[in-house]
């Protein structure tokens, strides 16, 4: 456990050491049950307690109002690209999608299978370097919903504030920044996120959905793909990913112990700052991909001025024990993902390494 790497993976990504150690302790014999949580029935009292306390913790930490359901599903955020329109879009009906990266594009593509989604705004022409101004986002009062991606994992951009959509439900893919900062959940109709960045291991998808929407959902769709199926059974319609939910509950406990979302956000600001400062003070040796006002606190994307030097930077960083600094395979460059569980010390070490590299190679 003292051989932990500087883990900047984009997802799956770093988990808190304390959580891993607790899971390690409990893996052979969970609270005297004589078995791990993985080996017991999802209908057992032990598991039910784990399941319900994870939901309760998420409700409390994220200040989720009473009129929302919290669901634990499977299929990743990618299945939510399908489930959202399958449940809420009908043939000929419109929904507005704001395109801020590849994940938004994928969400839009799925919606086309069910209705007539439109681009409400797109920053593709600017290589997805920025989030559009709220005033540029056009949507219609008769849209089924407006869809945004709160943090763009590949391009390293993040929404700082969200559009007011009135009676039109706002749907957000928060996969890569959920629980990294306080959010006013009441502004959203649906929030969804794969767990494997800030919440736990992959295999669990969190969906937070306003209850009145459930009543309006399409009914002529497969049982497992209906939100109501899972809402009506407390996400226990079929066997849930029990170990993942246990881990998620422990990660939430860890966030609580850290002081909640205000404290976590403060840490995330400080962590990102040490790295962005190196980029900004490098006289162009390092260049950030995102425009300053759209910078993500979770995924810091940058290039090294010269392509050969960039290869060398990534190779030397790897040799020095930094993991996961290669940019997404679709865009190249460098990316440091600094999710909740990445300690400040790792960010400081990376900043120092970057400074050193520049000094040697400039």
Residue 103 found at the interface with ligand PMP (CB under 6 A): yes
103 is catalytic: yes
Stretch that binds ligand PMP, among 75-83, 211-219, 238-246, 312-320 (CB under 6 A): 75-83
Among 173, 252, 304, 327, binds ligand PMP (CB under 6 A): 173
DSSP secondary structure string for all residues of 163-215: ---TTSPEEEE-TTTTTSS---GGG-SEEEEESTTTTSSTT-EEEEEEHHHHH
CA distances from 231 to 64, 237, 347 (A): 15, 9, 39
Residue nearest to ligand PMP (CB): 76
Is 103 annotated in a binding site? The answer is yes
Residue 76 found at the interface with ligand PMP (CB under 6 A): yes
CA distances from 289 to 177, 223, 334 (A): 18, 42, 9
Residue 78 found at the interface with ligand PMP (CB under 6 A): yes
97 strand-pairing partners: 119, 147
Q: Count CB-CB contacts under 10 A for residue 196.
A: 24
173 is catalytic: yes
Residue 326 found at the interface with ligand PMP (CB under 6 A): no
Among 7, 9, 11, 302, binds ligand PMP (CB under 6 A): 11
For the record, the structure tokens of 144 come out as 């089924």
Rounded to whole angstroms, the Cα distance separating 295 from 325 reads: 17
The catalytic residue among 173, 177, 254, 271 is: 173
Among 58, 77, 120, 351, binds ligand PMP (CB under 6 A): 77
The catalytic residue among 143, 197, 226, 254 is: 197
At its nearest, how many Å lie between ligand PMP and the CB of residue 175? 4
Q: Binding residues for ligand PMP, per CB under 6 A?
A: 11, 76-78, 103, 149, 153, 173, 175-176, 194
Residue list, annotated binding site for pyridoxal 5'-phosphate: 77-78, 103, 153, 173, 196, 238-239
């Amino acid at each position: 456990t003292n051989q932990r790497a500087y883990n900047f993976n984009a997802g799956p990504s770093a988990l808190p050491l304390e959580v891993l150690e607790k899971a390690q302790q409990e893996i052979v014999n969970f609270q005297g049950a004589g078995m791990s949580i993985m080996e017991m029935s999802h209908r057992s009292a032990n598991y039910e307690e784990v399941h319900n306390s994870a939901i309760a913790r998420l409700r409390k930490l994220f200040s989720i109002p009473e009129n929302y359901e919290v669901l634990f599903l499977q299929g990743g955020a990618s299945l939510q690209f399908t489930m959202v329109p399958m449940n809420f879009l009908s043939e000929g009906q419109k929904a507005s999608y704001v395109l801020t990266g590849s994940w938004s594009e994928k969400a839009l593509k799925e919606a086309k299978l069910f209705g007539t989604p439109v681009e409400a705004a797109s920053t593709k022409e600017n290589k997805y370097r920025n989030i559009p101004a709220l005033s540029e986002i056009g949507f219609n009062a008769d849209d089924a919903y407006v869809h945004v991606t709160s943090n763009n994992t590949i391009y390293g951009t993040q929404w700082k504030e969200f559009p007011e959509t009135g009676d039109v439900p706002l749907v957000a893919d928060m996969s890569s920044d959920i629980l990294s900062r306080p959010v006013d959940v009441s502004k959203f109709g649906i929030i969804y996120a794969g767990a494997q960045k800030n919440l736990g291991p992959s295999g669990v998808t969190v969906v937070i959905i306003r209850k009145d929407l459930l009543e309006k959902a399409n009914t002529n769709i497969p049982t497992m793909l209906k939100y109501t199926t899972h809402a009506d059974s407390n996400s226990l319609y079929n066997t849930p990913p029990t170990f993942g939910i246990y881990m998620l509950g422990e990660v939430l406990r860890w966030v609580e112990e850290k002081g909640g979302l205000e404290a976590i956000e403060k840490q995330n600001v400080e962590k990102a700052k040490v790295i962005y400062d190196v980029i900004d003070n490098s006289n162009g040796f390092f260049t950030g991909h995102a425009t300053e006002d759209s910078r993500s606190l979770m995924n810091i994307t940058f290039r090294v001025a010269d392509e050969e030097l960039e290869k060398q930077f990534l190779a030397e960083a790897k040799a020095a024990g930094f993991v996961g600094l290669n940019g997404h395979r679709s865009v190249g460059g460098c990316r440091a993902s600094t999710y909740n569980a990445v300690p400040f010390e790792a960010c400081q070490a990376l900043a120092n390494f970057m400074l050193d590299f520049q000094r040697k190679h400039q």
